């Protein structure tokens, strides 16, 4: 065990520390964190609509009294969703631009504007509107429509289908939700990095000292913003001309979809859970360090699932960011809520008992720092095995239960301090089987933690030697 720890301290810890402090990854992590006000508001709206609309309609039928009574609230919730999760890529573009600008020590407001505009530049601004007509139009009406560029074709039951190009139309559902996050990320990085580097090279318009600071900042940002946005515009234009498809569509098909597909495999889930807890064991915030991966892939899947649930569409992903919070590490990394309970029931050590009593209240709300650093779990060779093994076991059980359809996939982004059991129930929009899954995971984690707490009873808390009096 000592040899393994020394090897990890020598080779793994320096790399993890460097990754955890890399400014671009930190900016990406903070960008996702910065979207939380919007994501939480949208998640609450979707959750309320689930209980006011979806459940009553499913079990009581259309037009039931509950849904009818809450119709105004359901409408308001829909508006909240429209302005949050439905345009998550737009919100993220703003957050990423501000955090990248902070990383380069330039104006965050200008950075957020540049990032947003760079994303909008790549959106196709024309689309085809399709309308199904119940019966065929007259010859005169058909001539007028085809002359204007519309296309009429025969449809079932004697009707017609009208297709008409619509300029200036942005497809919210296709581009501005979770499916646009990768494009917002890529062009946010390109545009803001160029913008920041030009400012740091002093390629700016300088104003006299007498000019107010706000005006000076605005003028200083003009040249860097113009250059960076033209670079983005040229990239999008040349790609469309050569490939024949918008770049955002290519990114979605060639980059985002394959990565999202890989994220759904058990191997990816296993590796992420393992890395999070190995980092935590060495005192590094594993969840934060892995956040760029967690949020880029599983956070995107989370948004897609929530939007699909809101629109009563098939749920696209089985495993999302909320799956980790709901089922893998209740009480915090390492399933430390179970550790605390095992200490209170099984430990004979005064130091463990004291930390357990102090840690139970925050542990119920998934705050585990008192235990991690007070017990400590960090750099404790005895507790390393259950700390890593317990969440791997809960992840395995939850993953295969979800994939097998024993529990509904997570569709609502529940705030991370929500107590366990309730968290899984709400995250799955009220699936009672999530409660059963959570209880099973807690019991399995208890079986893993218990022998190590009993073993700790035999160790002298000061000398680390066998204490025969226990």
pLDDT in tens, 73-126: 989 999 998 899 888 899 999 999 999 999 999 999 999 999 999 999 988 876
With respect to residue 58, please indicate whether it lies within any of the assigned structural domains. Answer: no
Whether 420 and 442 have beta carbons less than 8 Å apart is answered as yes
> Do 136 and 221 fall within a single domain?
no
Residue 161, domain extent = 126-167
Q: Is the residue at 18 inside a domain?
A: no
Residue finishing a domain among 211, 245, 279? 245
How confident is the model over 2-27, as a mean pLDDT?
70
Same domain, 396 and 318: yes
**Among 97-111, 161-175, 382-396, 415-429, the least confident range:** 161-175
pLDDT for the residue numbered 129? 63
Q: Which residue has the higher pLDDT, 406 or 151?
A: 406
Classify residue 212 as left (phi > 0), alpha (psi -120 to 50) or beta: beta
Check whether 225 has a pLDDT greater than 90. Answer: yes
Q: Is residue 254 part of a domain?
A: no
Residue with more model confidence, 134 or 359 = 359
Token digits for 310?
């809101």
**Rounded-to-integer distance, Cα 428 and Cα 407, Å:** 8
Query: How much is the pLDDT for 16?
Result: 66
Identify each DSSP E strand in 113-256 by its residue range.
Answer: 126-133, 151-154, 160-167
Percent helix, strand and coil across the chain, each to the nearest 5: 70, 5, 25
- Of 167, 194, 226, the residue that ends a domain is 167
Residue 464 lies in a domain: no
Q: Is the peptide bond before 376 cis (omega within 30 degrees of 0)?
A: yes
Residue 154 in any domain: the answer is: yes
Both tokens assigned to 147: 């002359």
CA distance 294 to 280: 15
199 and 212 belong to one structural domain: yes
**pLDDT score at 468:** 45
Question: Is the domain of 331 the same as that of 442?
Answer: yes
Which pLDDT band holds residue 130 (cuts at 50, 70, 90)? low
Average pLDDT over the chain, rounded to an integer: 85
Strand-by-strand arrangement of the 160-167 sheet: 126-133, 160-167, 151-154
Residues 345, 449 share a domain:
yes
Q: For the residues of 307-330, what is the DSSP string, one character each?
A: HHHHTT-----SS-HHHIIIII-T
Co-location of 336 and 410 in the same domain = yes
Last residue of a domain, one of 216, 245, 274: 245
Q: How far is the C-alpha of 213 from the C-alpha of 328, rounded, in Å? A: 49
Give me the mean pLDDT over the 128-147 stretch.
70
pLDDT in tens, 243-296: 888 898 899 888 888 888 888 999 999 999 998 988 888 877 778 888 888 888
Is the per-residue pLDDT at 29 higher than 50? yes
Residues 108 and 135 grouped into a single domain = no
In a domain, 147, yes or no: yes
> What CA–CA distances, in Å, run from 260 to 92, 181, 405?
18, 12, 19
Question: Could you give the CA distance from residue 10 to residue 7 in angstroms, rounded to a whole number?
Answer: 5
Give the closest residue to 25 by CA, choosing from 251, 182, 189.
Answer: 189
Q: Are residues 420 and 443 in the same domain?
A: yes
Query: Is residue 150 domain-shared with residue 119, that is, in the same domain?
Result: no
Task: Give me the number of domains the chain comprises.
Answer: 3
Residues 230 and 296 in one domain: no
| Cα-based angle 411, 414, 419 (whole degrees, multiple of 5) | 125
Out of 30-34, 87-91, 398-402, give the one with best mean pLDDT: 398-402
> Measured in Å, how far apart are the chain's first and last C-alpha atoms?
25
| pTM as predicted | 0.79
Distance of CA 365 to the CA centre of its chain: 20
Report whether 462 contacts 441 (CB < 8 A).
Answer: no
Q: Are residues 218 and 305 in the same domain?
A: no
Instruction: Decide if 77 is inside a domain.
Output: no
Residue 200 lies in a domain: yes
Residue 367 has a pLDDT of: 84
Q: Could you tell me if 275 and 423 lie in one domain?
A: yes
387 and 277 in contact (C-beta within 8 Å)?
Answer: yes
């Amino acid at each position: 065990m000592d040899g393994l720890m020394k090897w990890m301290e020598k080779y793994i810890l320096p790399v993890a520390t460097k990754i955890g402090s890399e400014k671009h990854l930190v900016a990406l992590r903070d960008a996702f964190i910065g979207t939380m006000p919007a994501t939480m508001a949208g998640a609450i709206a979707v959750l309320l609509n689930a209980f006011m609309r979806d459940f009553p309609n499913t079990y009581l039928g259309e037009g039931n009294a509950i849904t009818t009574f809450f119709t105004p609230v359901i409408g308001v919730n829909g508006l909240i969703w429209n302005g949050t999760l439905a345009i998550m890529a737009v919100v993220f573009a703003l957050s990423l631009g501000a955090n990248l600008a902070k990383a380069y020590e330039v104006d965050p407001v200008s950075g957020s504007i540049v990032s947003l505009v760079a994303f909008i530049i790549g959106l196709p601004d024309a689309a085809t509107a399709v309308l199904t007509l119940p019966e065929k139009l007259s010859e005169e009406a058909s001539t007028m429509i085809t002359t204007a560029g519309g296309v009429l074709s025969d449809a079932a039951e004697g009707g017609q289908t009208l297709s008409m190009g619509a300029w200036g139309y942005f497809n919210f559902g296709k581009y501005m939700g979770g499916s646009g996050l990768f494009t917002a990320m890529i062009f946010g990085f390109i545009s803001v990095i160029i913008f920041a580097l030009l400012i740091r090279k002093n390629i700016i318009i300088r104003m006299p000292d007498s000019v107010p600071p706000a005006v000076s900042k605005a003028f200083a940002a003009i040249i860097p913003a113009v250059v960076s946005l033209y670079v983005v515009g040229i990239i999008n234009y040349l790609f469309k001309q050569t490939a024949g498809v918008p770049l955002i569509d290519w990114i979605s098909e060639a980059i985002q979809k394959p990565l999202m597909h890989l994220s759904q495999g058990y191997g990816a889930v296993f590796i992420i859970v393992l890395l999070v807890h190995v980092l935590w064991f060495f005192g590094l915030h594993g969840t934060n360090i892995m956040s760029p991966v967690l949020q880029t892939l599983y956070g995107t899947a989370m948004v897609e699932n929530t939007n699909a649930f809101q629109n009563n569409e098939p749920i696209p992903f089985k495993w999302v960011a909320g799956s980790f919070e709901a089922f893998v590490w209740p009480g915090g990394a390492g399933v430390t809520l179970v550790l605390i309970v095992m200490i209170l029931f099984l430990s004979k050590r005064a130091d463990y008992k004291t930390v357990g009593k102090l840690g139970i209240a925050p542990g119920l709300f998934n705050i585990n720092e008192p235990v991690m650093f007070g017990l400590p779990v960090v750099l404790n060779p005895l507790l390393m095995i259950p700390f890593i093994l317990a969440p791997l076991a809960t992840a395995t059980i939850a993953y295969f239960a979800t994939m097998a359809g024993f529990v509904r996939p997570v569709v609502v982004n529940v705030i991370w301090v929500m107590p366990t059991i309730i968290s899984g129930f709400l995250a799955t929009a009220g699936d009672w089987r999530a409660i059963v899954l959570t209880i099973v995971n807690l019991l399995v984690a208890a079986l893993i933690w218990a022998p190590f707490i009993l073993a700790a009873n035999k160790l002298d808390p000061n000398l680390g030697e066998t204490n025969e009096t226990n």
